[in-house]
Chains A and B, each alone.
Chain A
């Protein structure tokens, strides 16, 4: 690694309801010149923009809204991107024994209890030729996993373009790649301007969930925060939950399992080679617990 010859381009765009930052590195005799990084980053942003349009729960014209409206009426063909994400979500739903559940979109819409008769991921059947069918009407909200998936897809595109190293960070869910370990920082619960150095990560992802940027009762933050799938109530935990894993989509989803289970040791984490961390906030003191 030629430390002194590396050049970096960082760009940031508002996407997925947050700020998406893409960092790309190259070095002087690498096949990807510095001027080409702009094009590579643009391709990665385009893929995130595409997923943003497909998976947006609040856009009635998105593919996800289409699925929510029609999947219970008969077999429905879906894109390979949505199918891949739903299969991952379905798998984590099973392995987490229902703790991770995208079938709680109605909570984000603040519907009355009488209106909460929607199915969840367990009601979704995957049929041949990219078709799905739902046993009950669905109100799937993929915001608990979509950012991580979008990060993985963007990193794949950067790697396919030949970018040597970099990072894609979608509002705190990030993945680093390349030949050198990179420092990872974490925002502290309720002191979100303050950062702590977590460690160094190479070719891996980190995702975090906490309520320090949103209030469960505020309509301004409609849909943000973690909702318990059984109680269908937003979590009011003051703590911060982080997962380090090879894939960002897994890290993103498993933060919800960690936050709801409050268990550092859970079979789900081992399955995805995930390392969980809880940062506790209690009466102005902070402590952490990690699972290895």
Chain B
């Protein structure tokens, strides 16, 4: 193991932190890539579905997810397998993910496509700036897509659990009969 502490952070034994950067975003894989990962031999066709108010209310009731479900990112292959792209929004983050559903109604796989810590970002950024005297804050605030290795307290994936519950309910009431 080789460890080189940052010279910005570790100037003294106990110092006020400077040089902090703000929220980040990551795009992991594309819809095309996730299709190849979850169903390598399938050819998918886009099959958008209109979500009416009654179905939207039903999805919300079952999953507890308030963010509206959008039915335009649904793909189906000839065998009746589905790929559903959904988004969940947390306190500060938006996560776009894919659920592969087999023609037997089982989950083939779940994959995160994109993660953005942009939700409420502007407010949070302002609060952050106000707390640091002497911080270099001349750079325009922007999402950092280059930050790779982030440690920190565990971020719960409960939003995804609820989101997948919503997608599977949607499959039962709207997609299953389409096979």
**Chain A: residues with CB nearer than 8 A to chain B?**
10-15, 17-19, 21, 23, 38, 42, 147, 167, 169, 171-174, 176, 181-188, 191-204, 206-214, 220-221, 224, 240, 242, 244-246, 273, 275, 279, 284-290
Contact = CB atoms under 8 A, between A and B. Distances in A.
18 contacts: A10-B26, A17-B157, A17-B158, A19-B155, A147-B154, A181-B4, A182-B149, A185-B147, A188-B17, A191-B128, A192-B92, A195-B21, A195-B23, A195-B24, A197-B8, A204-B2, A242-B151, A244-B3
Given A19-B157, A290-B10, A195 B111 contact: no
Given A194-B20, A290-B5, A187 B150 contact: yes
Given A14-B110, A169-B150, A208-B152, 8 more contacts: A13-B111, A14-B160, A172-B155, A183-B147, A195-B23, A196-B6, A284-B131, A285-B131
B16 interface: yes
B9 A197 contact: yes
Given A19-B112, A204-B2, A289-B14, A213 B153 contact: yes
In this complex, which of B17, B121, B131, B147 has the most chain A Cβ atoms within 10 angstroms of its Cβ? B17
- Tell me the interface secondary structure of chain A in the complex: strand
B19 interface: yes
Contacts of A285: 16, 131
B134 interface: no
A210 B152 CA distance: 7
Nearest to A274: B1
B28 A11 contact: yes
Given A14-B110, A197-B19, A273-B1, A23 B151 contact: no
A276 to B, nearest CB: 12
Contacts of B115: 12, 19
A184 B148 CA distance: 8
A258 to B, nearest CB: 13
B151 A187 contact: yes
Contacts of B29: 10-11
Closest 7 CB pairs of A and B: A187-B152, A204-B1, A12-B112, A14-B157, A210-B153, A202-B2, A199-B5
Contact of A193 (B8, B15, B124): B124
A284 B156 CA distance: 25
Contacts of B148: 23, 167, 182-183
Nearest to B21: A195
A185 B10 CA distance: 14
Nearest to B125: A193
In this complex, which of B5, B24, B153 has the most chain A Cβ atoms within 10 angstroms of its Cβ? B153
Interface in B69-109: 92, 95, 97, 109
Contacts of A192: 92, 152-153, 155
B14 A288 contact: yes
Contacts of B173: none
Contacts of B150: 169, 172, 174, 185-187, 195
A288 B17 contact: yes
A21 B150 CA distance: 10
Nearest to B144: A195
B17 A203 contact: no
Contacts of A211: 153
Contacts of B23: 193-195
B149 A183 contact: yes
A217 to B, nearest CB: 16
B111 A198 contact: no
B92 to A, nearest CB: 5
B161 interface: yes
Given A185-B151, A186-B150, A13 B15 contact: no
A10 B150 CA distance: 14
Contacts of B15: 287-288
A221 to B, nearest CB: 7
A181 B5 contact: no
Given A19-B112, A38-B37, A290-B5, A196 B20 contact: yes
